[in-house]
């Protein structure tokens, strides 16, 4: 048996399903800590992975795949043997190239063949593949021929149950290690019941492990996951929505209070330097309807940075500890990395922070400009350039005979200049003049 067809990794497992924006390092690690056997990454498009650069992040001890400064995949050492990379693809060649690139950085590779969202279908990926058996076979055979880790795919049941069975037979012939099956059809969503009988028929039809998915609506604790798996006749069960709203559903000892889930997640988000947007998204999903009824929920909704989110939940000490550790390691970077004519401070901040501050005229540019006027020196001169790799902007500023810059890409020139001003305030030891918390430093 080839490595790609080794089913042992997938057999008899409880798994966190792939989830866009959520299935990143902190939530994966939290699920594993609670008791999940495997965790899938969020779906990552093949071309995005292939355009990325593999970086060993010594500051965090992780393996990062980055497009410039956009971290599209971060793998922590303790999840490496239990992390399944899910890719979106419509090309056997691209899938094979991903397998060569990833090597053994992850435990397995899964192909998304069930996502019904327009962006996937429009590009011929996800659920669009369910009616293209030849394309499915091309992708999976190409992938299994080169992969150094087990390969699986995840589908939805088709409108005609007999077509589902025909499809899974062809998939098994491609040499995959396992098959995930979501028990809803392409046009069905969460309110529709999971078609447990159809998953059971798939499990009877193939000899490889079947991973049942789609049961979050009837799951509230670990025992419910086992019951769902048993009812479907599947080897393993995969949980998505419930794992996001209640990550401790994986605990055999029972679920934890929601606020403990939030705190535990934030600790990992701080430790692994998750960005503000993704951190806030997961916290809000755990909160659900409590965003309005719980004071901490209301503070989270209004928060414009990870520190403000942490402050709402009493974890600001963890945030500061992790931030200090990163800054200390950042200062050890070689001065030979970049030309010496710039002083680099690789800081950034969320766009919301800027919008909140503009009404009070307390942005980094305003503070730096006022300081120069007060000191009767030349006002700052800004420059920016657009990176070809990702079309984002980097800004720089010349002030008081020095030049400052941040290498963190920004969506527009306005943000790039504001971030450059923040870098200058730090470099000139004037950071105390800027009121509030701004920095979100990512390594």
Q: How far apart are CA 399 and CA 422, in angstroms?
A: 12
Asked if residue 190 belongs to a domain, the reply is yes
For 306, what's the count of Cα atoms within 13 Å in the CB-facing half-sphere? 29
Q: Is 115 in the same domain as 232?
A: yes
Asked if residue 3 belongs to a domain, the reply is no
Q: Is 309 in the same domain as 375?
A: no
Asked if residue 4 belongs to a domain, the reply is no
Q: Is 308 in the same domain as 346?
A: no
Q: Is 48 in the same domain as 175?
A: yes
Per-residue pLDDT tens digits of the chain, which is 443 residues long: 689 999 999 999 999 999 999 999 999 999 999 999 999 999 999 999 999 999 999 889 999 999 888 899 999 999 999 999 999 999 999 999 999 999 999 999 999 999 888 878 878 999 999 999 999 999 999 999 999 999 999 999 999 999 999 999 999 999 999 999 999 999 998 889 999 999 999 999 999 999 999 999 999 999 999 999 999 999 999 999 999 999 999 999 999 999 999 999 999 999 999 999 999 999 999 999 999 999 999 999 999 889 999 999 999 999 999 988 877 776 554 334 444 578 888 889 888 888 877 666 689 999 999 999 999 999 999 999 999 888 899 999 999 999 999 999 999 999 999 999 999 999 999 999 998 888 875 55
> What does DSSP say about strands 393-399 and 402-405: parallel, antiparallel, or unpaired?
antiparallel
- Catalogue the active-site residues: 115
The string of DSSP codes covering 305-340 is: SHHHHHHHTT-HHHHHHHHHHHHHHHTTS-GGGS-T
At residue 103, the pLDDT reads 96
At residue 122, the pLDDT reads 79
Of the three residues 303, 318, 337, the one that is the final residue of a domain is 337
Element (H or E) spanning 229, and its range? Answer: helix 222-232
Q: Is 292 in the same domain as 429?
A: no
Task: Map residue 57 onto helix, strand or coil.
Answer: strand
Q: Is 238 in the same domain as 299?
A: no
At residue 361, the pLDDT reads 63
At residue 339, the pLDDT reads 47
At residue 344, the pLDDT reads 86
Q: Considering its fold, how many domains does the chain have in total? A: 3
What residues contact 118, with CB distance under 8 A and at least 6 apart? Answer: none
Residue range(s) defining the domain that contains residue 399:
342-433
Asked if residue 6 belongs to a domain, the reply is no
Q: Is 211 in the same domain as 350?
A: no
For 281, what's the count of Cα atoms within 13 Å in the CB-facing half-sphere? 14
Element (H or E) spanning 238, and its range? Answer: strand 236-239
The string of DSSP codes covering 143-210 is: HHHH-SS-EEEEEE--SSHHHHHHHHHHHHHTT-SEEEEESS-TT--TTSPP-HHHHHHHHHH-SS-E
Asked if residue 121 belongs to a domain, the reply is yes
At residue 277, the pLDDT reads 92
Element (H or E) spanning 366, and its range? Answer: helix 364-375
At residue 237, the pLDDT reads 99
Asked if residue 68 belongs to a domain, the reply is yes
Asked if residue 8 belongs to a domain, the reply is no
Count of residues in the chain: 443
Are the C-beta atoms of 336 and 344 separated by less than 8 Å?
no
CATH code of the domain covering residue 237: 3.20.20.70
CATH code of the domain covering residue 368: 3.30.160.20
Q: Is 57 in the same domain as 184?
A: yes
Convert 350-360 to b/e letters by CB count within 10 Å (16 or more is b).
bbbbbebbeee
Q: How far apart are CA 151 and CA 141, in angstroms?
A: 10
Q: Give this prediction's pTM.
A: 0.84
Beta-bridge partner residues of 62: 57
Q: Is 332 in the same domain as 227?
A: no
Q: Report helix angle 258-271 to 25-34, nearest 10.
A: 130
Task: Map residue 72 onto helix, strand or coil.
Answer: strand
At residue 440, the pLDDT reads 74
The string of DSSP codes covering 91-153 is: -HHHHHHHHHHHTTSSSEEEEEE---SHHHHHTT-GGGGGG-HHHHHHHHHHHHHH-SS-EEE
Q: Is 90 in the same domain as 20?
A: yes
Of the three residues 256, 284, 313, the one that is the final residue of a domain is 256
Q: Is 142 in the same domain as 79?
A: yes
Asked if residue 216 belongs to a domain, the reply is yes
Q: Is 267 in the same domain as 243?
A: no
Dihedral sign for Cα atoms in the order 122, 182, 140, 243: positive
Of the three residues 337, 362, 385, the one that is the final residue of a domain is 337
């Amino acid at each position: 048996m080839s490595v790609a067809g080794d089913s042992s990794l997938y057999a008899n497992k409880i798994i966190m399903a792939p989830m866009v924006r959520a299935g990143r390092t902190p939530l994966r690690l939290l699920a594993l800590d609670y008791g999940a056997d495997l965790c899938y990454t969020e779906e990552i498009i093949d071309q995005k992975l292939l355009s990325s650069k593999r970086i060993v992040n010594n500051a965090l001890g992780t393996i990062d795949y980055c497009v410039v400064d956009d971290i599209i995949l971060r793998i922590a050492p303790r999840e490496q043997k239990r992390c399944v990379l899910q890719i979106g693809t419509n090309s056997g060649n691209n899938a094979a190239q991903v397998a060569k690139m990833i090597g053994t950085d992850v435990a397995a590779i899964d192909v998304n063949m069930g996502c019904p969202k327009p962006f996937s279908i429009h590009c011929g990926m996800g659920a669009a593949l369910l009616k293209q058996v030849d394309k499915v076979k091309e992708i999976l055979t190409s992938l299994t021929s080169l992969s150094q880790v087990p390969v699986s795919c995840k589908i939805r049941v088709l409108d005609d149950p007999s077509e589902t069975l025909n499809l899974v037979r062809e998939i098994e012939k491609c040499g995959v290690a396992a098959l995930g099956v979501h028990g809803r059809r392409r046009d069905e969503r969460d309110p529709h019941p999971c078609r447990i009988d159809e998953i059971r028929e798939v499990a009877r039809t193939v000899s490889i492990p079947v991973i049942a998915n789609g049961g979050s609506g009837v799951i509230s604790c670990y025992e419910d996951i086992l019951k769902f798996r048993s009812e479907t006749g599947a080897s393993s069960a995969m949980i998505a929505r419930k794992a996001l709203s209640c990550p401790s559903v994986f605990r055999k000892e029972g679920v934890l209070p929601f606020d403990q889930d939030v705190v535990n997640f934030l600790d990992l988000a701080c430790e692994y330097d998750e960005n503000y947007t993704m951190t806030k998204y997961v916290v809000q999903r755990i909160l659900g309807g409590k965003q309005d009824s719980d004071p901490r929920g209301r503070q989270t909704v209004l928060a414009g940075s990870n520190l403000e989110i942490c402050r709402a939940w009493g974890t600001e000490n963890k945030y500061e500890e992790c931030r200090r550790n990163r800054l200390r390691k950042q200062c050890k970077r070689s001065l030979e990395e970049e030309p010496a004519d710039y002083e680099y401070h690789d800081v950034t901040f969320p766009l919301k922070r800027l919008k909140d501050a503009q009404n009070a005229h307390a942005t980094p540019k305003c503070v730096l400009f006022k300081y120069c006027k007060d000191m009767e020196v030349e006002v700052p001169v800004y420059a920016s350039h657009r990176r070809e790799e990702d079309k984002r902007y980097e800004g720089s500023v010349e002030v008081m005979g020095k030049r400052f810059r941040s290498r963190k890409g920004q969506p527009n020139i306005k943000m790039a200049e504001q971030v450059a001003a923040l870098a200058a305030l730090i470099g000139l030891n004037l950071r105390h003049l800027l009121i509030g918390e701004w920095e979100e430093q990512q390594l």
